[in-house]
Structure 1
Amino acid sequence: MKLRYAFLLGIGVTALLTAFLFLPISFQIQEPIPVAAAKAATISLVDRIAVEHSTKETTPAREEVLKEEPSVPPIPQPENLPIQEQTESHTQTQEPMVQQVEKQAAAEQAEENTPMLIDGYYPVESVTLAPVFDRALLAARIVYPPLAKRQRKEGLVIVRLFIAESGLVERIVVEEDPGYGLAEAAIAAFTSFKTSPALYQDTPVAVTLRYPIRFTLQ
């Protein structure tokens, strides 16, 4: 009995498989999707052709413009001149320049060596020989002020002397005054005082200098 059922089940399964094999099955075939044209490539190609075309059109025009420019005649160079003419012209132009430089250098040197005058007087540092004072005669002309002597006052007086070419003291300017009549005593001592003249390159000149006088009590 069991064998009969198994045999019938096997026959039924085989029939079903056979039926499935012969049944019609419909398949839907998809149509291919249309691909867009490569517009970017076409545009690039057109632009390139247009550029090449414009370049070919403009190149002859540029050459024509260059051809129409007037030619400039060559400027003769000094090398084209004979060697003798070059040497003579160079020497002629060099000599005035050298002379001018030498004159300028001499003028600058003379200006540096020329001392600056103070109110028309040479500074004593710039003269060749300074004036010489007779100290004994000058000391004899100095009178100690009575007021300073009574109060036992001492001090240093500095005067600027302006001495003429003859050696005569023409002007006296007090630069330091301790008071008590000491400066007036110094002015009185130098008034109409005469020294040996100052010399600048063996020539007597007017000179100015500072002279200190110290007043002390013994």
Structure 2
Amino acid sequence: MNKKRLLIIFVKNPELGKCKTRLAATIGDKKALNFYRNMLHRTKQVTEKVDGNKAIYYSSFLDFDDLWSNEPPFYKALQKQNPDLGIKMKSAFEEAFQNGYESVCIIGSDCWALDDKVIEQAFKALESKDAVLGPSNDGGYYLLGMNQLHSEVFSDKEWSTETVAPSTIKDFKKIGLKYVLLQELTDIDNEEDLRTIPKAQIERLLK
């Protein structure tokens, strides 16, 4: 187990009407909740295979009675209670580096195509580069990794827009970081994004 690596996993507490709201707008709150719960299970299965410690950061409250383990290499924490996603992520990275981790990556729980091989590729990139980014096809990103905190990458972003990944890459260049871009994947945010998942899997995910 590589104890110098930390994978931060940002999750939302799965509550009806409070998760996958854009998806829920067309398929309904219940199916959207089912989908998100199943995505959490998938994220758990994927991240269990990753070499390193994992920190589950909850959106609203710590849940010690859910699917995630309460034992190492999993740890549970609460996202900073601020509406700005950049502040939330910056705070999580700060905590990670203060705790002595040398390579830190963050992911969410919305990317069906993200697997342990891609995450391992990200950590491998950080062995020789300063940063790594996994761009999503909507202009955001599904993974961000760094070997030390660079606060600039969390500032002045229009989150949930197509400008996030390009703006972050611009920050990398401005700071002078050597970085790696991973393959582009799809975050599942709306009904159209569901089409990127095999049909047989979609039916199972919505139940």
TM-score normalised by length of structure 2: 0.20
Query: Which has the higher Rg, Structure 1 or Structure 2?
Result: 1
